[in-house]
Amino acid sequence: MSRPALPNDTELRDRVRGLDLDSKISLLTGADLWRLPAEPRLGLSAVTMSDGPQGVRGAGDDPDETGLLAPAPSALAAAWDTGLAERLGELFATEARRKGVDVVLAPVVNLQRTPVAGRHFEYFSEDPLLTGTLAAAVVRGLQSRGVGACLKHFVANDSETDRTQYRARLDERTLREVYLAPFEQVLAEAEPWSVMAAYSGLDDGTEPAPMTENARLLREVLKGEFAFSGPVVSDWAATRSTVASAIGGLDLVMPGPDGPWGDALAAAVRAGEVDEQLVDDKVLRLLRLARHVGRLDEPEPAPVPAQPAEEEFRLLREVAARGTVLLRNHGDLLPLTPDGIRSVALIGPNAVAPYLQGGGSAYVPAVRTVSFEEGLRAALPEDVLLTVHRGGDARLRLPYASATLLTDPDTGETGVRADHLDAGGNRIGGEVHATGDWTTYDGFDAQTHRVLLRTVLTLAEPGTHRLEFGCPGRFSVTVDGEEVLAGDDGRGVELVLESSHNHPPLRGIDVEVGPGGRRLALALDLAVVDAGGYGRFTTAQLRHAPPGPTPYEEIAEAAAAAQAADVAVVVVGTNEEVESEGWDRTGLDLPGHQNDLVRKALAANPRTIVVVNAGAPVLLPWADEAPALLWAWLPGQEAGHALADVLLGRIEPSGRLPWTLPARAEDVPVPDAVPRDGVVDYSEGVHVGHRAWDKDGLVPAFPFGHGLGWTRWTYESVTLSPTPVSAAVPSPAGGGDGLKLTVEVTNTGPRAGREVVQVYLEPPHDGTDRPVRLLAGFATVQAAPGARVTAEVRVPARAFQIWDSEARTWRTPPGRYRLHVGRSSRDARLAAEVTVDKGRLHPPG
């Protein structure tokens, strides 16, 4: 597959040749954490990057900057709608330009290989075709407005445990058919302007190497076979070599200004270890990116409104609502009719504190957030009583110490004082914060070696109080002058890569308080962490919990509220301790006592609606007992409005599961993500996600593709394209020749609705190790009650193909293939057959 050269490439090559070696190499490492170097002699302005993919965080120039917080990618994927995905990409582009950002580090097209993966919420799906199709739509939307996408993390970087060290061991066929497949599809369909190389590496039978040094995949496959013409960017601080990474295909080291290239790379070129033509190619690729985003010989991009428009809020609300999956609706409890409701009990730890976004680089300080309580209160009639009950805390970490308990020891005013100390212990600056949250604090000058936090904590309530301190690196904690905790971790950038800088391990003490109260002098002495391109910082968290009711007392109170209400809405789920970049989960259970809470509420009120607020699968042992069950994902800033829209029938929850929900932990095909001897073994081969469930004949709680919506659908007929088309020419999943299925469906229910028509391909049973069924195509249609509608589903030729590792090419095994058309991977309504003979597809008739 070849593509024509971009316009003016010849002229760009002439510009590159006009620079000396050192000037060229200076462009290949970031200028700082987010910006690329400028070069006036080339007409090159600085290109600015920003984290995604749940929004656009910005370059951090304004510490108080906020932004639009979208639903997590898994929520978008649940809509199975390319048009909606493209619209969200356009919104990201507008937001990027609002913040002066040229390239968004998104989308993530790694796969949900295991449900415990820490960044599961950031991935679209467990299925490569669904992932590639929706990611391509996001890229098209983003780049249609002049903002670049950075496709990541290339490749097989599907878990977080030891993510900077492990090697993924997988055979060539699995790599091609599963993990490279979404990258190949997005590159073919949407041509992203940059690609990020992963932290991890690959062990595919050749010499194991970090991805930043993998010449076979970066140079031969990505840039050669896939004809990618943009720059390959390192994940942040992932590059650890000079020559190996330079000749391996990496083009840009991030962050800067330091790194393994610079003078070392110039010396390697002069020594003949690296060909200067490779350097020229890297610069050319960066210039292409700059030209795409308007940073080459062009004025500043056109301004956009400084504040988000209401239509942008509405789109985020629509994505969250339409991605919501209705898993059960016994007796048509949903949607609710407000006229018949006098009281609603909103219950659950996530009802009180919704989990809106996953932790890590996806984090965006939201311009606004709408809680579930606020959304329901705004939507329900004024005379409906709405009560809110936590039902126990699901977090292991305590809340931050309240500002009302903290006193600056120097002034007597509220707050925690920070003294900035130089190497000799002399105070050279300082400031005061109101709270105990000093996460990633860097408000000091370059001479600061230590930060001393001091406050007086006043505890008035008698009983046992719990204090927790979170401090990575080197630190000492004293209470009333006595050291109670200390640490001596001298690492730098590693603390960032494992998220210890914003999720430090907690150490706690119990404090007994008598009737007269107690005042404690607290001091946290923190050594400054030098994290290279990530800057110099300290981190401290002061957390506190007073004596209070037990979880079981809170559950009993919530159950009583459920019994007294006309309707109970119980919101359970995960939180920032559970789903985040930097670590993988150790299990699938809901945290805390949430299962007990649900069961008590269900027993108290038969009109109980359970809402799961989580990005990744959790076990729901009571699922069959819930009359109504919704999966609401990590819904972003418009969470409350979206849930109210769904509950009251304003928007149909037309989502379908983009992954399989297990009923039992022991059934999960890939139960953990822990490397063994530095290796993550992809021993399941091509049987990932729902394919593995089918191979093993296991019954999940809810299958891949499942979702009910508000109405019912009858599948009337399926016809195939009558003209045989070639299957011999290799083509990516979204392009090339293939089949077209025309499916007639009728909305036989009482309400208008959307249906996701899904097509699964069953290959011939000829002894070849192939999936029992694989997703081969889908289409989303909508119809009024009683109306019939036609869905056209494209099944690409690649769906029939397998990778021949010996011949190193794609081939189409002959035989009879069966196409299953239906509502999920386990709910087929229609079928058709296709015969492959001598590399050609022969539909019936």
Q: Tokens standing for 487?
A: 């640490």
CA distance 834 to 776: 13
Instruction: Calculate helix-pair angle for 82-98, 128-143, nearest 10 degrees.
Output: 40
Residue 280: alpha-carbon gap to chain centroid? 34
- What CA–CA distance (Å, rounded) separates 357 from 421? 36
- Give the distance between the most distant pair of CA atoms in the chain: 90
Q: Find where tokens 């105990």 sit.
A: 436
Which helix (H) or strand (E) element contains residue 292?
helix 276-292
CA distances, 373 to each of 77, 387, 390, 475 (Å): 26, 9, 12, 40
Give me the count of residues in the chain.
845
**Rounded Cα gap, residues 337 and 320, in angstroms:** 21
**DSSP for residue 29:** B
In the chain, DSSP finds a helix count (H) and a strand count (E) of: 19, 37
Q: With 0-12 CB in 10 A as exposed, 13-18 as middle and 19+ as buried, what is 504?
A: buried
Q: What angle do CA 298, 304, 309 make, to 5 degrees?
A: 160
> What does the block give as tokens for 762?
């069953």
CA separation (Å) from 625 to 40, 312, 706?
Answer: 67, 38, 18
Query: Which residue do the tokens 């304004």 mark?
Result: 62
Distance (Å, rounded) from C-alpha 261 to C-alpha 435? 41
Catalytic residue list contains 737:
no
210 CB contacts (<8 Å, ≥6 apart)? 199, 200, 201, 238, 240, 241, 245
Query: Distance between CA atoms of 633 and 162, rounded to whole angstroms?
Result: 26
Q: Which two tokens stand for residue 733?
A: 């999943």
CB atoms < 10 A from the CB of 113, how many? Answer: 25
Q: What is the DSSP string of 129-159?
A: HHHHHHHHHHHHHHHTTT-EEEEEEETT---
Please tell me whether the peptide bond between 40 and the residue prior to it is cis, using omega within 30 degrees of 0.
no
* Structure tokens belonging to residue 756: 């996701």
Active-site pick, 235, 281, 393, 419: 235
* Nearest alpha-carbon partner for 443 in 351, 535, 508, 356: 535
The Cα 101–Cα 142 span in angstroms is 12
Q: What is the 3-state secondary structure (H, E, C) of 386-427?
A: EEEECCCCCCCCCCECCHHHEECCCCCCECEEEEEECCCCCE
The angle formed by the CA atoms of residues 80, 83 and 85, to the nearest 5 degrees, is: 65
By the 8 A CB rule, do 735 and 798 touch?
no
Is the four-CA dihedral 248, 251, 254, 259 of positive or negative sign?
Answer: positive
Three-class secondary structure of residue 550 per DSSP: coil
Active site residues: 235
